[in-house]
Amino acid sequence: MAVSRKSWPNLFCTCLLLCATEAASQQFQLEPPSSTVLRGSDARFSATVEGKWEVMTWTLRRFLVLTVSVTGNVTTSSEQFSAAFCSGGDTGCVEFTIRNTTRGDSGPVICTVQGEYGSKTAQLYVQESGTVNIMGGDVTVVQDQQVELQCVTTAWFPIPTVTWTQNGKAVDSSLYNTTDMANGDSFNTTSVLKLQAVSNTTVACWATVPALTNPTSSSVFLVVERNYQDEMRRVKTQSQISGVSVAGQRQGQVNAGYALEGQTSVTPSELTESGFGQAHDSNIFKMPDAVNSNLEGNGYNSAYNTLDESGFRKHRHVTIV
Ligand SMILES: *[C@@H]1O[C@H](CO)[C@@H](O)[C@H](O)[C@H]1NC(C)=O
Ligand SMILES: *[C@@H]1O[C@H](CO)[C@@H](O)[C@H](O)[C@H]1NC(C)=O
Ligand SMILES: *[C@@H]1O[C@H](CO)[C@@H](O)[C@H](O)[C@H]1NC(C)=O
């Protein structure tokens, strides 16, 4: 039979098509190529076979754990393993499930389809989420003081990524150091955060591994107390804004003197400016329990603003008539 030149391309195409079909009928896909799950959760892999098949096997940790036939017969080595047709009973796709994964299940997952299909290998990674704890709980510090917080994570695998946030915002990584140590087949880490106490904030420490959808965290409240100098400045500013009208002062007299324990020289101008006896701390306003004899008979209205040993501010208001 003579073959015209024109028919050559057609023959060529037909051959390509046949060859491609032949090759495809001997193929199957294993998905996903790798799976990362948390210990105790399930892992799933699916094999999609293009063409006819009879028997498929699944191997985990080098052991054959499951055999499935195209008729739907499943034989397993343990009830930890199961298989089913993917959806709608399509025999072209088999889903293999490993329930309640353990760390020892990590490794290659091999699917073999009997015949010329051969085998495909996927990887299973089983991770572990442990605990996170900022040591010591809430902290109270004086403004601008350097604060050191320690976050301990226990029983993670692999080494968790540890980060810190302050009021929900990421803390610059230059402000903390994280070290890890092996703890049996998992890891503990210690992260030390050093920051300047500026204002009241919620500080949180976060730890995560890839298998974990939401990081685990621990948080503490950082209470910043103003230092004494700042408090003075604040009161001064308030008095400048509000003038000398005094809520806690019943007779509206001008404060002519005040004394601070441990502070001896107070100039009149400071007095006028600072205007002690203002409304601040009026909730702890106290009537005099002691009268300074120097002031006796002068008709002075005197206010004392003192800090006792406990750091508690007392406001004494003394009226001598
Ligand atoms: C972290 O460690 C390095 C090296 O030991 C040190 O120089 C740095 O000050 C540390 N930073 C913090 C926030 O602890
Ligand atoms: C890891 O943390 C746990 C719990 O705090 C502790 O019992 C264990 O000794 C730690 N392991 C190491 C190596 O520090
Ligand atoms: C922080 O909060 C405490 C009360 O929780 C308050 O007394 C203090 O003034 C606050 N500090 C600053 C700097 O706002």
Is 177 close to ligand 1, i.e. is its CB under 6 Å away? yes
Whether 97 and 135 share a structural domain:
no
Query: How far away, in angstroms, is 192 Cα from ligand 1 center?
Result: 9
pLDDT exceeds cutoff 70 at 247: no
Mean pLDDT for the chain?
A: 76
Q: pLDDT-derived band of residue 271, with 50, 70 and 90 as boundaries?
A: very low
Q: How confident is the model at residue 230 (pLDDT cuts 50, 70, 90)?
A: low
Same domain membership, residue 221 and residue 199: yes
Whether pLDDT at 97 is above 80: yes
DSSP 162-221: EEEEETTEEPPGGGEEEEEEEETTEEEEEEEEEEE--S-EEEEEEEE-TT-SS-EEEEEE
Regarding the beta carbon of 224 and ligand 3, being less than 6 Å apart is answered: yes
Pair 171, 153 in one domain: yes
Q: State the distance from the centre of ligand 1 to the C-alpha of 165, rounded, in angstroms.
A: 18
Q: Atom 5 (ligand 2): residue with closest C-alpha?
A: 154
Asked if residue 116 and residue 30 are part of one domain, the reply reads yes
Q: Is residue 68 part of a domain?
A: yes
CA distance 207 to 61: 29
Residue nearest to atom 6 of ligand 1 (CA): 177
- Boundary of a domain, candidates 92, 127, 162: 127
Range of the domain at 168: 131-225
Q: Tell me what the mean pLDDT of segment 2-6 comes to.
A: 46
Q: Counting atoms of ligand 1 from 1, which one is nearest the CA of 193?
A: 13
231 in any annotated domain? no
| Residue 230 forms part of a structural domain | no
**Burial tier of 296 (Cβ tally within 10 Å: 0-12, 13-18, 19+):** exposed
Regarding whether 286 and 204 lie in a shared domain, the answer is no
What pLDDT score was predicted for residue 291? 36
Ligand 2 geometric centre to CA of 183 (Å): 6
pLDDT class for 42, splitting at 50, 70, 90? very high
Cα separation, 170 vs 204, whole angstroms: 9
Is the pLDDT at 1 greater than 70? The verdict is no
Interatomic CA distance for residues 81 and 281, integer angstroms: 69
Residues 101, 136, single domain; the answer is: no
Atom of ligand 2 nearest to the CA of 182: 13
* pLDDT above 50 for 257: no
pLDDT at 77 over 50: yes
The reply to whether 255 falls in a domain is no
Q: How confident is the model at residue 238 (pLDDT cuts 50, 70, 90)?
A: low
Considering 225, 252, 284, which residue would you say is the last residue of a domain? 225
Q: What's residue 240's pLDDT? A: 62
Is the domain of 17 the same as that of 117? yes
pTM, full prediction: 0.65
What's the pLDDT score for residue 48? 96
Q: How many domains does the chain contain in total?
A: 3
Cα 177 to averaged position of ligand 1 atoms, centre (Å): 6
Question: What pLDDT was estimated at residue 87?
Answer: 86
Same domain, 203 and 149: yes
Does 272 lie in the same domain as 212?
no
The answer to whether residue 138 is domain-embedded is yes
CATH number for the domain harbouring residue 190: 2.60.40.10
Which pLDDT band, with edges at 50, 70 and 90, does 26 fall under?
confident
Give which of 161, 59, 68, 52 is closest to 111, Cα–Cα: 59
- φ, ψ for residue 116 (rounded to 5)? -90, 10
**What is the DSSP secondary-structure string of 118-166?**
EEEEEEEEEEB--EEEETT-SEEEETT-EEEEEEEEEEEBSPPEEEEEE
- 199 ligand 3 Cβ < 6 A: yes
Ligand minimally distant from the alpha carbon of residue 135: 2
Give the Å distance between the CA of 135 and the centre of ligand 1.
19
The span from the CA of 160 to the CA of 128, in Å, is 9
Q: Which residues contact 318 (CB under 8 A, 6 or more apart)?
A: 288, 290, 291, 292, 295, 300, 301, 302, 303, 304
From the CA of 244, how far away is ligand 1's center (Å)? Answer: 50
pLDDT classification of 231: cutoffs 50, 70, 90: low
Looking at the CA of 280, name the nearest ligand: 3
pLDDT above 90 covers a percentage of the chain that reads 57
Domain boundary among 173, 197, 225: 225
> 146 and 74: one domain?
no
Instruction: Say how far apart CA 319 and CA 321 lie, in whole Å.
Output: 6
Ligand 1, closest atom to CA 174? 13
Q: Could you tell me if 111 and 28 lie in one domain?
A: yes
Asked whether residue 261 is domain-assigned, the answer is: no
Residue 9 scores a pLDDT above 60: no
Q: Are residues 103 and 65 in the same domain?
A: yes
